[in-house]
């Protein structure tokens, strides 16, 4: 069987090639053991260029199954893409990825999407593909829904097949490079122990599971040896979910004298100077913190379990250790008051992270706010998935701010004005970033 696995274009990201699609590459690790697999990572292409690529290679009609990986925000793009592919291929189209949830299947275009796979699926992906290929499916009921079975032990999985997709550079803040050659992504865990109300992880991932520290570092060594890549984004939801385990990983990297640079994403709690120094010793160059806001009112509504004070001290501790810092923030969120933007600006002036990656809050399928907006004193007025534009800073000027949310009893115009004021401030202080 010949299987195409597609990661859709992401031209709105600053360096999409630097972050190859790990989920797809994990699946390729399993599927290539039995089948011919070709990965298409369209990264910075535009959709029509991606399609032209598929046709130019004269390849697509040779595939027996076409798989597309999506987040919720890519469903409309996947629908359009699938329509275009069906013009020149009869192969069944299957979508999977974090965007396929019970609550999002209704957004899939039944005419062109034949199968959906919900969740991680390494344990039964071969079976799913065999079923799709071998059985007669009732074409009046589409998409057919398959439940993925997540791997029991992450450490028993084959390494993701990074050799099947191109790797880019510049994974660090401000385009910084610490080594020659490309960058890549890697995960040491899946899932998150926290239950923030805006995050879709509770709906997307199972409970947190860790890889064994040695086995994780083995993958790093394998990447260095086989691909010569020394720059990594550890893309765990929360790398410091277990500080003892993070310490083990750092110690192993130091013991093996691996000359690598990496960045992590984590919460501001737990974080302190000791942890920062431990990370730096092992080659960590940058920490992205889930700050969200410097307004405690907002943090409470987001069920973040952190305070504005925690946010400032984590950024300061990281900077003292010499780390680059990225503040991941959201604006126009539940709990926003007329004071929120001032609180944000004042705190950012005090702690000055290297950059701020700010997005407009949208209720992601899989999150508590999407499921129960009333509990967070918001009203979602527009559920059209492709209008949920996150991006605060477009590739050419600004993107429109998504306007499908009413916050408490606040005047919509006022909230919009505050939001734009924050964007202008970030821009004029050179902190604006597209992520
Ligand atoms: C790293 C990361 C990124 C990186 C991606 C790097 C990369 N290419 O690997 C970058 C920075 C690009 C990114 C960007 C964004 N991300 Co992101 N990201 C993540 C993160 C933290 C880890 C992803 C990962 O590597 N997981 C590990 C792999 C192994 O799992 P996986 O991708 O889910 O793949 C498995 C299954 O889904 C399935 N599968 C995947 N693809 C396919 C395809 C087929 C055909 C099949 C059958 C199965 C299948 O099999 C895989 C193996 O089991 C997740 C958090 C999470 N918990 O997943 C968020 C997450 C995926 N991101 C999310 C979001 C919202 C975004 C952004 C929109 C945020 C923003 N404002 O910028 C953007 C844009 C992405 C887009 N195109 O829409 C949400 C998606 C929510 C949703 N409901 O869809 C998540 C879940 C975060 C969250 N908790 O809310 N992200």
- Distance (angstroms) between ligand 1 centre and the Cα of 188 equals 15
Q: Write down the pLDDT at residue 383.
A: 81
Q: Report, in angstroms and rounded to the nearest whole number, the Rg of the chain calculated over CA atoms.
A: 22
Q: From CA 8, how far away is CA 414, in angstroms rounded?
A: 36
> Residue 1: which pLDDT band, with cuts at 50, 70 and 90?
very high
- For residue 109, is it within any domain? yes
- With tokens 């090639």, the residue in question is 17
Q: Is 159 strand, coil or helix? A: coil
Distance separating alpha carbons of residues 342 and 69, to the nearest angstrom: 39
CA 51 to each of CA 72, 230, 383: distance values in angstroms, whole numbers, following the listed order: 21, 32, 28
Tokens of 149: 């079975």
CATH of residue 102: 3.40.50.280
- On the question of pLDDT at 394 being above 80, the answer is no
State the distance from the centre of ligand 1 to the C-alpha of 127, rounded, in angstroms.
23
User: Would you say residue 160 lies in a domain?
Assistant: no
- Indicate if 197 and 141 belong to the same structural domain: no
Instruction: Report d(CA 302, CA 320) in Å as an integer.
Output: 28
Instruction: Please answer whether residues 89 and 60 qualify as being in contact, where contact means their C-beta atoms are separated by less than 8 angstroms.
Output: yes
Q: What was the pLDDT predicted at 88?
A: 81
Q: Return the pLDDT at 43.
A: 72
From first CA to last CA, the distance across the chain in angstroms is 37
**pLDDT tens, 289-340?**
999 999 999 999 999 999 999 999 999 999 999 999 999 999 999 999 999 9
Which of the pair, 204 or 424, is modelled with greater confidence? 424
The CATH number of whichever domain residue 388 belongs to comes to: 3.80.30.20
Domain boundary among 147, 181, 209: 147
Q: State whether 62 and 202 are in the same domain.
A: no
Q: Residues 273-288: pLDDT tens digits? A: 999 999 999 999 999 9
Does residue 159 belong to any structural domain of this protein? no
Average model confidence (pLDDT) across the chain: 91
- Ligand 1 atom showing the smallest separation from residue 199 Cα: 90
How far lies 305's CA from each of 195, 265, 299, 300, 308, in Å? Answer: 9, 17, 7, 7, 10
d(CA 284, CA 260): 8
Looking at the structure, tell me whether residues 232 and 322 fall in a common domain: yes
Distance from Cα 429 to the centre of ligand 1, integer Å = 30
Q: To 5 degrees, how large is the angle CA 393–CA 49–CA 88?
A: 135
73 within a domain of the structure (yes/no): yes
| Atom of ligand 1 at shortest range from CA of 120 | 53
Ligand 1 neighbours, Cβ below 6 Å, are 10, 13, 19-24, 26-27, 67-69, 71-74, 94-99, 117, 120-122, 185, 187, 190, 199-201, 204-205, 235, 237, 359, 364-366, 390, 435
**Is residue 257 in some structural domain?**
yes
| CA dist list (Å): 128 to 4, 23, 149 | 15, 16, 10
- Calpha distance 187→210 (Å, rounded): 9
Coil, helix or strand for 427?
Answer: helix
User: Can you give the pTM of this predicted structure?
Assistant: 0.94
Position 207 confidence tier, pLDDT thresholds 50, 70, 90: confident
- 315 and 265 inside one domain: yes
Residues whose CB falls within 8 Å of the CB of residue 146, separated by 6 or more in sequence, listed in order: 115, 116, 117, 118, 121, 128, 131
Residues 263 and 361 in one domain: yes
Return the closest-CA partner of residue 231 out of 182, 265, 187, 186: 182
Closest atom of ligand 1 to CA, residue 115: 47
Q: Whose CA is nearest to atom 76 of ligand 1?
A: 71
Q: Inform me whether the pLDDT recorded for 5 exceeds 90.
A: yes
The CA 132 to ligand 1 mean position distance, Å, reads 24
**Tally of CA atoms within 13 A in the half-sphere of 24 that contains its CB:** 27
Mean pLDDT of 14-35: 90
298 and 352: one domain? Answer: yes
End-of-domain residue from the set 147, 182, 205: 147
* Ligand 1 atom at minimum distance from 364 CA: 83
Beta strands in 267-418 (DSSP E): 284-292, 324-331, 355-360, 378-380, 405-407
Ligand 1 centroid distance, CA of 334 (Å): 23
Using DSSP, state whether 407 is helix, strand or coil.
strand
Residues 198 and 275 in one domain: yes
The protein residue whose alpha carbon is closest to atom 15 in ligand 1 is: 71
Q: How many CB atoms lie within 10 A of CB 34?
A: 13
Residue 156 lies in a domain: no
Ligand 1 atom closest to residue 16's alpha carbon, by position in its atom list: 12
139 in a structural domain? yes
Ligand 1 atom with the shortest distance to the CA of 73? 78
Strands 231-234 and 183-186: parallel
Out of 35, 71, 304, mutate this one to test ligand 1's pocket (max ligand atoms within 8 Å of CB): namely 71
In-domain check, residue 162:
no
Range(s) of the domain holding residue 227: 167-428
| Domain final position from 91, 114, 147 | 147
The phi, psi pair for 402, rounded to 5°, reads: -60, 135
Give all strands of the β-sheet with 261-266 in edge-to-edge order.
Answer: 183-186, 231-234, 261-266, 284-292, 324-331, 355-360
Mutational pocket test of ligand 1: of 14, 23, 40, the residue with most ligand atoms within 8 Å of the beta carbon: 23
Phi-psi region of 71 (alpha: psi -120 to 50; beta: other; left: phi over 0): beta
Q: Give residue 430's pLDDT.
A: 81
Same domain, 195 and 137: no
Atom of ligand 1 nearest to the CA of 198: 90
Ligand 1 atom at minimum distance from 74 CA:
78
Reduced to 3 states (helix: H, G, I; strand: E, B; else coil), residue 214 is helix
Q: Are residues 104 and 182 in the same domain?
A: no
Looking at the fold, whether 187 and 131 belong to one and the same domain comes out as: no
Mutational test site, ligand 1, from 3, 40, 98, 383, max ligand atoms within 8 Å of CB: 98
Q: How far is the CA of 354 from the centre of ligand 1 (A)?
A: 24
The total number of structural domains that make up the chain: 2
Q: Is the pLDDT of residue 57 over 70?
A: no
């Amino acid at each position: 069987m010949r299987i195409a696995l597609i990661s859709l274009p992401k031209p709105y990201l600053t360096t999409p090639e630097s972050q190859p699609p790990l989920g797809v590459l994990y699946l390729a690790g399993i599927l290539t053991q039995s089948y011919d697999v070709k990965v298409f990572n369209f990264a910075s292409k535009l959709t029509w260029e991606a399609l032209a690529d598929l046709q130019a290679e004269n390849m697509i009609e040779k595939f027996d199954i076409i798989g597309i990986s999506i987040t919720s925000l890519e469903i409309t793009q996947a629908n359009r893409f699938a329509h275009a592919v069906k013009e020149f291929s009869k192969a069944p189209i299957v979508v999977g990825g974090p965007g396929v949830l019970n609550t999002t299947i209704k957004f899939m275009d039944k005419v062109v999407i034949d199968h959906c796979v919900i969740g991680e699926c390494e344990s039964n992906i071969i079976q799913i593909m065999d079923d799709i290929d071998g059985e007669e499916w009732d074409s009046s009921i589409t998409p057919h829904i398959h439940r993925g079975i997540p791997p029991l032990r992450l450490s028993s999985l084959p390494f993701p097949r990074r050799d099947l997709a191109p790797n880019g550079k510049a994974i660090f803040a401000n385009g910084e490079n610490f080594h020659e050659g490309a960058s890549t992504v890697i995960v040491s865990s899946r899932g998150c122990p926290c239950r923030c109300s805006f995050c879709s992880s509770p709906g997307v991932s199972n409970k947190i599971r860790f890889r064994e520290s040695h086995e994780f570092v083995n993958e790093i060594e394998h990447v260095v040896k086989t691909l010569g890549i020394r720059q990594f984004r550890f893309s765990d939801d929360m790398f410091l979910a277990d500080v003892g385990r993070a310490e083990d990983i750092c110690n192993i990297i130091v013991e093996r004298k691996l000359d690598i640079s990496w960045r992590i994403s984590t919460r501001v709690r737990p974080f302190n100077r000791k942890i920062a120094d431990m990370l730096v010793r092992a080659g960590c160059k940058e920490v992205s913190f889930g700050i969200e806001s410097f307004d405690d009112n907002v943090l409470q509504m987001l069920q973040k379990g952190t305070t504005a004070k925690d946010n400032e001290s984590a950024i300061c501790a990281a900077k003292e250790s010499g780390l680059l810092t990225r503040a991941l923030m959201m604006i126009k969120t539940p709990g926003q008051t007329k004071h929120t933007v001032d609180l944000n600006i004042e705190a950012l002036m005090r702690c000055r992270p290297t950059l701020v990656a700010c997005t407009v809050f949208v209720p992601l399928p899989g999150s508590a706010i999407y499921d129960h907006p009333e509990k967070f004193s918001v009203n979602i007025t527009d559920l059209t998935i492709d209008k949920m534009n996150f991006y605060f800073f477009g590739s050419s000027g600004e993107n429109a701010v998504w306007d499908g949310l009413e916050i408490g009893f606040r005047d919509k115009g006022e909230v919009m004005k505050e939001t734009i004021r924050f964007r202008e401030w970030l821009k004029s202080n050179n902190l604006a970033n597209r992520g």
